[in-house]
Structure 1
Amino acid sequence: MLQSYQECRSITLTVFYPFDDEIVRGVMTSIDKPNRRIKLVRGDEDFSWIKIEEITVAS
């Protein structure tokens, strides 16, 4: 996952949600260490902050 961040490559994440896991794909552009989350950008104005502990699979 860190290599994807350093090289600005696309990454696919499986994120845990109570009712159904979600698969998201994008480029990790920021790491917020104090809040333990990453910023995943999927488009020009489409991004999400994802908590690291909710990521179950990264590829």
Structure 2
Amino acid sequence: MKNKETKLSNGSNKLFEGSRFIMPQHREAAVIAAREELRQSRPLFDEQRIQDLSYAINEAINERSQVNISIFGEFGNTEEQGWISRIDQLKHQIRLETGDRDFEWIKLEDIVDIQVR
């Protein structure tokens, strides 16, 4: 007669067999925690950097030059291309024309970098 394996038998892993399962709530909490580790904070610019960005915006508007704008995002910056057509000083945002009739309003505080082409 063969020896019957039990959860407590030597060499058996059946005692912890149930620990391989992850409850949906625990998995969701782990995913949220991993995502929060990737979150980045908004960069703080000194006065010189702010003046450089302002100069680039004014140059782009006056010369109607195309620009590449890096926009802050909590989980990664995005890049947009187009022409700056307006500055809304009341709302602190610029209007970026991206196509024939397409445009996007971008808050000045979200601009990380501007490259005039």
User: Fold match, TM over 0.5?
Assistant: yes
Identity %: 29
What corresponds to 2:62 in structure 1? 6
Q: Would you say 1:55 and 2:111 are equivalent positions?
A: yes
* SS of aligned partner of 1:18: coil
Q: Which runs of 5+ in 2 are unaligned?
A: 1-56
* Counterpart residue identity of residue 73, structure 2: Y
* Runs of 4+ displaced beyond 2 Å: none
Query: How many residues were matched structurally?
Result: 59
TM-score normalised by L of structure 2: 0.49
State the structure with more CA Rg.
2
TM-score normalised by L of structure 1: 0.94
Q: Which runs of 5+ in 1 are unaligned?
A: none
Higher strand fraction (1 or 2)? 1
CA distance in 2 between counterparts of 1:47 and 1:23 reads 14
